[in-house]
Amino acid sequence: MNNLSNHYRFIIVGGGSGGISAAARLKKKFGANSFSANSIALIEPSENHYYQPLWTLVGGGVVKKEITQKPMKCLIPNGVTWIKDSVIELMPESNSLKVSDSKTFTYDYLILSPGLKVDFEKIKGLSETLGKNGVCSIYDYHQCEKTFEILNSVKSGKALFTVPPMPVKCAGAPQKIMYLAEELFRDNGVREKTEVHFYSNSPAIFGVPLFSKALEKVAARKNIQTHFLQKLVEIKAEQKIAVFEKVSPPPVPVAPGCAPVSLPTDPHLGEKTEVKFDVLHVVPPNSPPDFIAKSSLAWTDGAQKGWLEVDQYTLQCHKFKNVFGLGDVLGTPNAKTGAAIRKQVPLLIENLASVIEGKPLTNKYDGYSSCPLITSKHTVMLAEFGYDGKILPSFPLDPTKERYVYWLLKRYLLPKIYWWGMLKGLL
Ligand SMILES: Cc1cc2nc3c(=O)[nH]c(=O)nc-3n(C[C@H](O)[C@H](O)[C@H](O)COP(=O)(O)OP(=O)(O)OC[C@H]3O[C@@H](n4cnc5c(N)ncnc54)[C@H](O)[C@@H]3O)c2cc1C
């Protein structure tokens, strides 16, 4: 018999974009009447919740960081029990999990949405110098305002913007901040004396060819020099040197049963290049949370090794049918964004209801994701796509065109949709 105070019908792990939206939808779905103290628990260690998509605009000096943060207690729906702790171990065989104070909780159904780990430690020399010596990053709440200070202080020299190996949450953000910085350098009258360089671990400027082609033109128009298959491995802060390693392109996907395509080996593979910088914007590698990677719920090999193993359409775990996942933690081939979560949550809750009722799971996620690609302080190219790079536009307009109306959407409307619609389970 379960100890009732440690048992919940539903447990949600993570109070970010996915967890809070799921809590709101779950409460709506199962109705206020059937709501009891032991219905839903949300496990989340942080006092605050962050709207990360605006961190790019904080780094660009457009908004203040405070508007991206709200107290967690104001967002967790009434009636949902907040367990203010971190999960350290999953034991799905016994429908239980352990939190950091060693307490164990049991559940009937589990939703995992703990996001991902932004791994500053994975680049030698980065943690020690972040926020100093011209090194900055918008991938942290406490660093995004510092990023603007650093970019705004540039007088001349070399500005480098890096992209780590995929997956990266909002893979467009590394270049959005670059376009805002380039505009800032022009506004400050220092652009002529400042070179702008884009260094990416990927073979192209963006993962979807249609948008990649359009963005190459944006970079060329802005006189930005691009360098591909270059991985940032070390920062020598005192000397202001970034060390890049030449990497190989990701394997070409082949149809099942076909022989893998073998490409000629690049003679420069593994070669290290030292690049002197005046300002360096770093996007660190993104990794799965440790308690997911070491659990029996993670993929054990392949490109998604360590990320949560779910069916990419139903979001149900392969091994345990009472466990679902959503958001950045997923080992699925969609782009990791809040926009993806807005599509995932409603269908996940419907599928969970089907499991409870013993019905087949009919709601399928198409991999939808959206990246409002900021190209200046008043233009955005709205990239919307799904699995296999399928273009999924919401509006009947050329999606590769930079538009002011999409800037208004990104700057003003999407934050409102997020706080007042998505997190309340309405949109
Ligand atoms: C600079 C930047 C720009 C972005 N731009 C965009 C954009 O323009 N459009 C867009 O759609 N998306 C964008 N994103 C991505 C978007 O913010 C994320 O995809 C989204 O927040 C992921 O939601 P999540 O719930 O999976 O994770 P998160 O929102 O990160 O939340 C995870 C939560 O889990 C908690 N947690 C972690 N570990 C544990 C544990 N062990 N136990 C319990 N709780 C735990 C954390 O404290 C956190 O509150 C951007 C992100 C960044 C950083």
- The answer to whether the CB of 372 is under 6 A from ligand 1 is yes
In the structure, what pLDDT confidence band is assigned to residue 264 with cuts at 50, 70 and 90? confident
Report the 10 Å Cβ neighbour count for 3: 9
Contacts of 95 by beta carbon, 8 Å cutoff, 6+ apart: 106, 107, 108, 110, 322
- Residue 256 pLDDT > 70: no
Shared-domain flag, residues 206 and 163: yes
Looking at residues 305-317, what average pLDDT do you find? 98
Strand partners, 276: 241
Catalytic site residue from 136, 144, 170, 317: 170
Look at the alpha carbons of 329, 335, 338, 340 in this order and tell me if their dihedral is positive or negative.
negative
Residues 6 or more apart from 423 whose CB is under 8 A from it? 17, 20, 21, 24, 75
* Domain co-membership, 346 together with 217: no
Is 392 a domain residue? no
Q: Which residue's alpha carbon is nearest to atom 29 within ligand 1?
A: 16
Residues 132, 268 share a domain: yes
**Angle between helical axes of 209-221 and 173-187 (0-180°, round to 10):** 20
Do residues 46 and 82 make contact, with C-beta atoms less than 8 angstroms apart? no
* 317 classed as catalytic: no
Q: Kindly tell me if the per-residue pLDDT of 2 is higher than 80.
A: no
Task: Return the CATH number at 123.
Answer: 3.50.50.60
What pLDDT, on a 0 to 100 scale, did the predictor assign at position 101? Answer: 87
Measured distance CA(237)–CA(34) in Å, rounded: 58
> Does the beta carbon of 42 lie inside 6 Å of ligand 1?
no
Average pLDDT of the segment spanning 123-142 = 98
Indicate if the pLDDT at residue 260 is higher than 70.
Answer: no
387, part of any domain: no
Q: What is the pLDDT of residue 266?
A: 85
pLDDT on residue 267: 87
**CA 236 vs CA 129, 181, 274, 284, 376: distances in Å:** 9, 23, 9, 16, 31
User: Is ligand 1 within 6 A of the CB of residue 44?
Assistant: yes
Q: Are residues 180 and 222 part of one domain?
A: yes
The confidence score (pLDDT) of residue 250 equals 81
**Separation of alpha carbons 285 and 169, rounded Å:** 10
The confidence band for 38, taking pLDDT boundaries of 50, 70 and 90, is: confident
Residue 256 within a domain:
no
Examine the fold and report which residue of 307, 338, 357 is the final residue of a domain before the chain moves on: 357
What digits encode the pLDDT tens for the residues 66-90?
A: 999 999 999 999 999 999 999 999 9
Q: Report the number of distinct structural domains present in the chain.
A: 2
φ, ψ dihedrals at 133, nearest 5°: 50, 30
Nearest CA to ligand 1 atom 28: 16
Q: What's the pLDDT score for residue 407?
A: 98
- 18 Cβ below 6 A of ligand 1: yes
Mutate to test the pocket of ligand 1, among 74, 161, 328 (most ligand atoms within 8 A of CB): 328
Q: Is the pLDDT of residue 252 over 80?
A: no
pLDDT at 377 over 90: yes
With a 6 Å cutoff on the Cβ, whether 285 touches ligand 1 is no
Distance 51 CA to ligand 1 centre (A): 8
Instruction: Decide if 418 is inside a domain.
Output: no
Same domain membership, residue 93 and residue 132: no
The model's confidence at residue 5, banded by pLDDT at 50, 70 and 90, is confident
pLDDT band for position 33 (cuts 50, 70, 90): low
Tokens of 35: 């709501």
Label each residue of the chain as H, E or C. Answer: CCCHHHEEEEEEECCCHHHHHHHHHHHHHHCCCCCCCCCEEEECCCCEEECHHHHHHHHCCCCCHHHHEEEHHHHCCCCCEEECCCEEEEEHHHCEEEECCCCEEEEEEEEECCCCEECHHHCECHHHHCCCCCEECCCCHHHHHHHHHHHHCCCCEEEEEEECCCCCCCCCHHHHHHHHHHHHHHHCCCHHHEEEEEEECCCCCCCCHHHHHHHHHHHHHCCEEEECCEEEEEEECCCCEEEEEECCCCCCCCCCCCCCCCCCCCCCCCCEEEEECCEEECCCCEECCHHHHCCCCECCCCCCCCCECECCCCCEECCCCCEEECHHHECCCCCCCHHHHHHHHHHHHHHHHHHHHCCCCCCCCCCCEEEEEEEECCEEEEEEECHHHCECCCCCCCCCCCEHHHHHHHHHHHHHHHHHHHCCCCC
Task: Clarify whether residues 125 and 97 are in a common domain.
Answer: no
Examine the domain organization and report whether 79 and 144 are in the same domain.
no
17 & 154 share domain: no
| In-domain check, residue 109 | yes
**End residue of a domain, out of 308, 325, 357:** 357
Which atom, in ligand 1's list, is nearest to the CA of 14? 34
pLDDT exceeds 60 at position 60: yes
Residue bearing the CA closest to ligand 1, atom 19: 337
CA–centroid distance, 125 to ligand 1, in Å, is: 25
Asked if 371 is an active-site residue, the reply is yes
CB of 53 closer than 6 A to ligand 1? Answer: yes
Q: Which atom of ligand 1 is nearest to the CA of 19?
A: 25
> What's the token pair of residue 402?
């930079």
Among 357, 373, 396, residue at a domain's last position: 357
Judge if 269 and 135 occupy the same domain: yes
What local confidence, expressed as pLDDT, does residue 1 receive? 40
Task: Write the pLDDT tens digit of every residue in 163-182.
Answer: 999 999 999 999 999 999 99
Domain of 10, in residue numbers: 4-116+288-357
pTM as predicted: 0.96
Cα(315)–Cα(326) distance, rounded to whole angstroms?
Answer: 7
Residue 240 reports pLDDT greater than 50: yes
Tens-digit pLDDT profile for residues 209-224: 999 999 999 999 999 9
- What average pLDDT is seen over the chain? 95
At 30, the pLDDT band (50, 70, 90 cuts) reads confident
Say if 72 falls within a structural domain. Answer: yes
Q: Residue 284 pLDDT more than 80?
A: yes
- Best of 73, 169, 283, 410 for a ligand 1 pocket test (most atoms within 8 Å of beta carbon): 169
Binding site membership of 423 for ligand 1 (Cβ less than 6 Å): no
> Are 126 and 108 within one domain?
no
Give me the mean pLDDT over the 284-309 stretch.
Answer: 98
**Does the Cβ of 173 fall within 6 Å of ligand 1?**
yes
Of 154, 172, 128, 130, residue with least CA distance to 61: 154
Is the per-residue pLDDT at 248 higher than 60? yes
pLDDT band at residue 32 using 50, 70 and 90 as cut-offs: low
- 69: in domain: yes
Tokens of 155: 């007088």
Q: Is residue 267 located within the same domain as residue 305?
A: no
For residues 137 and 242, membership in a common domain is answered with: yes
Residue 46 CA: nearest ligand 1 atom is: 47
Is the beta carbon of 13 within 6 A of some atom in ligand 1?
yes
Ligand 1: atom nearest CA of 340 is 11
Both tokens of residue 215?
């963005």
Centre of ligand 1 from the C-alpha of residue 18, in Å: 8
- State pLDDT tens for residues 383-412: 999 999 999 999 999 999 999 999 999 999
Distance 19 CA to ligand 1 centre (A): 10
Instruction: Tell me whether residue 374 is in a domain.
Output: no
Kindly tell me if the per-residue pLDDT of 36 is higher than 90. no
**Any atom of ligand 1 within 6 Å of the Cβ of 143:** no
Question: pLDDT band at residue 229, thresholds of 50, 70 and 90?
Answer: very high
* pLDDT for residue 253: 64
113 close to ligand 1 (CB < 6 Angstrom): yes
